[in-house]
Amino acid sequence: EAGVTQFPSHSVIEKGQTVTLRCDPISGHDNLYWYRRVMGKEIKFLLHFVKESKQDESGMPNNRFLAERTGGTYSTLKVQPAELEDSGVYFCASSRNIDTGEQFFGPGTRLTVL
């Protein structure tokens, strides 16, 4: 069974540009989560999809961030326009059930905004 994959692994962009991150969850996992870790700090929850619906987007920092999950398969997270403070590692995770809290994580995308 393939794990959670994320693309790209690294992205370096300039302030004001747009970046789109992609996450492919484990097949059959209806739940998909996005997280962000700023250097040396906690991993912060951004949002949770159940299939194609946003179950909880309370962690999205502002309206420069847009997440989609068309068709309930892969998901994209777009940052437009990017700011310096958006730099960090963006993790995606998926799970089959939501009642245990156990999730399967991708390797993350390291975003650097210059």
Residues that bind another protein (CB under 8 A): 3-4, 31, 33, 35, 37, 40-45, 48, 50, 55-56, 58, 91, 93, 98-108
If the CB atoms of residues 61 and 107 are measured against another protein, the closer one turns out to be 107
Q: How far is the CB of 43 from another protein (least distance, A)?
A: 4
SS (H, E, C) 39-54: CCCCEEEEEEEECCEE
Least CB distance from residue 75 to another protein, whole Å?
A: 15
Smallest gap from Cβ 8 to another protein, in A, equals 14
Which residues, 6 or more positions from 35, have their beta carbon under 8 angstroms from its beta carbon? 43, 44, 45, 46, 90, 91, 92, 93
- Rounded distance between C-alpha atoms, residue 22 and residue 74, angstroms: 7
| Of 17 and 105, CB closest to another protein | 105
